[in-house]
Amino acid sequence: MGKPRIEEWTQLRGIAFLAIVMQHNIAEYIYRSDIEQPDSIMLTMIYHLTRFGTPTFVFLSGVMLFYHHRQAKPEYTRFIRKRFGDIYIPFVLWTLIYWLSVRIFTPEFWSSGTLDLRSLIRELFIPQTGYHLWFVIMIFQFYVLFPLFWIGVQLVYRQIIKITRITPTRSVLFLVLIAAGIYGLLMKWSYYDMGGWAASLSQPWSTLLEYRSYSWVMYWFYFLLGAVCAWAVDTWRNWSVRALPWMVSIFIGMYIWLGYDVLRGSGDVVNLNISTYLKPTTFIIIMAQMFMLYGFLILLRGKTTKFLNLLTWIGRYSFGGYLVHALIIYAIAYFTRPLQLGGWHLPITLLSFLVTAAIALAISCGLSRLPGSRYTVGLQRKRKHNSPVHGLDGMDPRRTPGPVTPVRASHSRETS
């Protein structure tokens, strides 16, 4: 028997995928020289509705791993081999696709007569043409280290059940608050201090700090929060609903503050990097958004609507959609960049978002039905005779959530 289906996880992943696509479309248009101030401000406001994207998918990665391996530690060789095939091979394939797609439209590529394989190797470690693929590098670190996380969570769990003075739920809440405080301090160091540290340190430490957004260290709190959710799903659901009024209030307050902070700190061109993921205030709004959306999904739980069915479908194909969506943005930009869009950046961005999401998901769905789909979109195609369709976690994506999807979170050019 498979584990019970947790529908809201798939739906939450669908919402986060749409936020990712919107965020990258905004980054394509908001920095153009002919953008007018009203469009720039409106795109900034929409941008701050998408900040939960990447951290939510780190959270969902932790949820899925701990949910499916709650009873026993995975056999490491088999575990990492499967994740390598489901996640890393698609990353390598799409890295090659992005690397080639950008270069074949460059005249120098044809005149030089060389492939510049050194730049391709660099893309496998520091993606630039496939700028969004950094997330696969970062999240794969959690898969590699997962057995250590599993052992740590088990040790903490055994200690919690020994405590008699307070309930296990309160013990977990207390630990989560301590972890949040530590993580908030890490965000403070990242945003205000680590840039200076990188300038004063020698190699390789300065490089590690410069590319700190590629490291699991900067996202560990969301992953372990996923473990809390996976260990007590019903308690998490109840708490999300009870905390909903507080989360809405915090979100509204932080939404106003982040918008004001960006507009105040920007010059003639809006600087969205002021709202980087690796910042304490952004961490607060991300947590409020994540819990708020989870609470709303719980309130809608059990209801069958076209909207929820659509979110479930989007979540199912989100990993493949994530891999391909930047290529769609490139294709649209090929036609829009030569145009003068003064006064039209907002509607063009919204239209580009809809087209990008629709085509990316259609491609992901189509590839999932072809041979070798595991290595292109992380899903095995549907077999005959009602055989299961395996997702990233070896489970039927029609029963349980499948792969995760992300968005770029960098301390430098986060939205490039």
Taking only the tens place, the pLDDT of each residue in 31-79 is 998 899 999 999 999 999 999 999 999 999 999 999 988 878 888 889 9
- Contact indicator for 143, 83 with CB cutoff of 8 Å: yes
Cα–Cα distance for residue pair 221/200, rounded to 1 Å = 28
**pLDDT greater at residue 304 or residue 388:** 304
Residues in the chain: 416
| Lowest mean per-residue pLDDT among 110-119, 164-173, 200-209, 311-320 | 110-119
Cα–Cα distance for residue pair 98/90, rounded to 1 Å = 12
Residue-wise pLDDT for 125-170, tens only, equals 999 999 999 999 999 999 999 999 999 999 998 888 888 788 888 8
- Contact indicator for 6, 394 with CB cutoff of 8 Å: no
365 pLDDT higher than 60: yes
Tokens found for residue 288: 């409020």
Cα–Cα distance for residue pair 150/140, rounded to 1 Å = 15
81 pLDDT higher than 70: yes
The three-state (H, E, C) secondary structure of the chain, written as one string = CCCCCCHHHHHHHHHHHHHHHHHHHHHHHCCCCCCCHHHHHHHHHHHCCCCCHHHHHHHHHHHHHHHHCCCCCCCHHHHHHHHHHHHHHHHHHHHHHHHHHHHCCCHHHHHHCCCCHHHHHHHCCCCCCCHHHHHHHHHHHHHHHHHHHHHHHHHHHHHHCCCCCCCHHHHHHHHHHHHHHHHHHHHHHHHHHHHHHHHHCCCCHHHHHHCHHHCHHHHHHHHHHHHHHHHCHHHHHHHHHHCHHHHHHHHHHHHHHHHHHHHHHCCCCCCHHHHCCCCHHHHHHHHHHHHHHHHHHHHCCCCCCHHHHHHHHHHHCHHHHHHHHHHHHHHHHHHHCCCCCCCCHHHHHHHHHHHHHHHHHHHHHHHHCCCCCHHHHCCCCCCCCCCCCCCCCCCCCCCCCCCCCCCCCCCCCCCC
**Extents of the domains making up the chain:** 7-377
User: What integer pLDDT is reported at residue 1 of this predicted model?
Assistant: 47
Exposed, middle or buried, 209 (CB in 10 Å: 0-12/13-18/19+)? Answer: buried
How far does Cα 155 stand from its chain's mean position?
28
- Contact indicator for 380, 389 with CB cutoff of 8 Å: yes
Q: Which residue has the tokens 């090659």?
A: 96
386 pLDDT higher than 70: no
- Contact indicator for 5, 400 with CB cutoff of 8 Å: yes
Largest CA distance in the chain: 74
Cα–Cα distance for residue pair 52/39, rounded to 1 Å = 22
Residue-wise pLDDT for 217-232, tens only, equals 999 999 999 999 998 8
User: What integer pLDDT is reported at residue 109 of this predicted model?
Assistant: 62
Query: Whole-prediction pTM value?
Result: 0.88
State percent of the chain over pLDDT 90: 66
The three-point CA angle 326-33-347 to 5° equals: 60
Average pLDDT across the chain, whole number: 87
Angle formed by the axes of helices 134-160 and 53-68, nearest 10°: 50
All residues at 6 or more sequence positions from 160 whose CB lies less than 8 Å from its CB, including other chains: 168, 171, 172, 175
**Nearest to residue 416, comparing CAs of 408, 329, 86, 2?**
408
Tell me the pLDDT band of 4, cut-offs 50, 70 and 90. Answer: confident
- Kindly report the number of other CB atoms within 10 A of residue 246's CB atom: 13
Average pLDDT for 92-120: 79
Q: How far is the CA of 401 from the CAs of 21, 105, 230, in angstroms?
A: 20, 37, 13
- Kindly report the number of other CB atoms within 10 A of residue 359's CB atom: 17
